[in-house]
Amino acid sequence: MASRRHPVQAIAFAPSDSPKLFIAIAETIYAIAATTHETVATWKAPPAPVQGKHQSQVPDAASKIEDVDAAEALPADETPATKEENTESTDVVMADSPPSASGSVVGKRKRSPSAASNMPAEALESVETTTDTKKSDKKTRNQKKSEKRKAKNAAKPPPPPQPNYIGQLVPIPDRSLLAVTTLEDKTLRLLSLDTLEVVKEWVLHKRPSAITLTPATILVGDKFGDVFSYKIPTPSELEEATEGKLLLGHVSLLTTLTTATSPPLHGNTQNGSSGDVKKYIITADRDEHIRITNYPLTHAIHGFCLGHTAFVNRLLITKDNLLVSGGGDDWLGLWDWKAGKLLQQVDIKTPVDAMLNHEDAKALTEKLRGYNKKRKRREEGEPEVDVTIAVTEIAEVNGREVVVVLEGVPAILRYRYTNDGKLDFAGYIKTTGSVTSLSVHGPRIYFGVDSEEGSLVSYADITEEEAITNDFFNGKPFEGLLVEEGEIDAVNERLYMAEAFRKGFGGFMEDD
């Protein structure tokens, strides 16, 4: 095929008097009315900054050599002062060198008379003339080479700009704001929930990898391992210059974070706290660690949840104030996070294997290995069928069940709570392609699918006897973005990155 449509890489639902669904496709955010399914506002991220200088502005090794030659060709009275200083600095000798008998400064080496000083004046003048002629010819050649090189570089087209992809979308309904991260320019922005106009922005230190909310702040984790907090401004504070505050840091790549309270709060435990409660930030990284840190006194670490053997990529605090974790292992962890105790290993590999016959599993294996060029290093010698597990989303739906998305797998796995508070597999929602984004509001699951068939955005209601997918746009046309054939690999590498966290086959660090 010559082109394909770009899937939705981030999605968020914002409840209000006029509820909206926000979807991100590459560099653009669309605000879509949840009732009329009409696009009411759009915002496109500004172009990403050019990384470094264009090649024509960066001297290569040959040009540096030519510049040195040109500097040496300058007459003595035009030699830069810096060159004289460098020459003087080479004359410094060891401290135990004897001082000069002629009264020169201590530390200077006495120059021995050169052979040229004993030459006749006529011979010396002839040598100087020949040397000056050679230097002049060399300088002319260097200038011609430099001009030719500049003309050649000027004719080269500038490098294409990198798409400034949208990273995360988090609505802040009580402030009528939408928190948005963009990856290439490493920026956190606050947009109006109604018009998508930018009202405030912060340039981040590193590329953001995770974002969540407290009642008054936005917490942003980055791939350097640090977590910063940014105060959510009131309308009167939007014009004030504010900076992020460093809260904590990991020694590994930070993959996800959330917040929790003890005792638990009624309602959403991630976005509010009041009364005499203790608050915590829960973070995870590529090195299998889950850390619980006191908040706002983040110098005090409450504890760890240890047991994963592969990267941890997603965290969820449930209605019962338990922690669900998932990543590169074949199971989800259900934790009593306050005690650091693993309560259950929830199997996610077996349901996937049961869902696929041999041919489907083989086709999915080939597709997974084609998503990211670093995965292709596993092809040689690997089994024909090897559906790897990489959790990309975990969400709780209406306090009744937990849904799980796996990278590349065309389904949403469902787990219901049992009477003893554990999780039990309850089936799956079949999709037309890989699920690339997911958001939950009440009993509804909104999700984007990477497929040429069906709706770009679908939803399913778990209160129905069977959760059937429906077209969110209700048949109304929606023009997203077409990806040309030559750009498909680059898009896949941006959309399918979870498996690259895995160690041992050329993930983000080649020397694993």
- Sequential DSSP letters for 430-474: E-SSEEEEEEEETTEEEEEEE-SSS-SEEEEETTSSS---EETTT
Which two tokens mark 67? 């510049």
Q: Hey, what amino acid is at 392?
A: T
For 456, residues 6+ apart whose C-beta sits below 8 A from its C-beta are 5, 7, 8, 448, 449, 473, 478, 480
SS3 of residue 139 by DSSP:
helix
The three-state DSSP-derived secondary structure of 121-137 is HHHHHHHHHHHHHHHHH
**How far, in Å, CA of 452 to CA of 434, rounded?**
11
The confidence score (pLDDT) of residue 263 equals 86
Residue 300 neighbours by CB distance under 10 Å: 8
The confidence score (pLDDT) of residue 304 equals 97
**How far, in Å, CA of 232 to CA of 212, rounded?**
12
- Residue-by-residue DSSP string for 316-366: EE-TTS-EEEEESSSEEEEEETTTTEEEEEEE-HHHHHHH--HHHHHHHHH
SS3 of residue 261 by DSSP:
strand
Residue 155 neighbours by CB distance under 10 Å: 8
**How far, in Å, CA of 323 to CA of 280, rounded?**
12
**How far, in Å, CA of 52 to CA of 57, rounded?**
10
The confidence score (pLDDT) of residue 109 equals 44
The alpha carbon of residue 23 and the mean position of all alpha carbons in its chain are separated, in whole angstroms, by: 18
The confidence score (pLDDT) of residue 161 equals 66
SS3 content of the chain, % helix, strand, coil (to 5): 20, 35, 45
Phi, psi (rounded to 5 degrees) for 329: -80, 165
Which two tokens mark 439? 């958001």
Cis preceding-peptide flag for 98 (omega within 30 of 0): no
Which two tokens mark 359? 């041919």
- Residue-by-residue DSSP string for 47-90: PPPPSS--GGGS--HHHHHHHHHHHHTS-GGGS-HHHHHHHHHT
**How far, in Å, CA of 101 to CA of 86, rounded?**
25
**How far, in Å, CA of 191 to CA of 197, rounded?**
5
Which two tokens mark 277? 């409660």
The confidence score (pLDDT) of residue 84 equals 40
Which two tokens mark 203? 């340039």
The confidence score (pLDDT) of residue 143 equals 84
The confidence score (pLDDT) of residue 139 equals 77
Hunting for tokens 């709570």 — which residue is that? 417
Among residues 240, 210, 216, the alpha carbon closest in space to that of 230 is found at 216
SS3 of residue 273 by DSSP:
coil
Residues of the chain with pLDDT under 70: 1-2, 51-131, 134, 155-161, 266-275, 372-382, 505-512
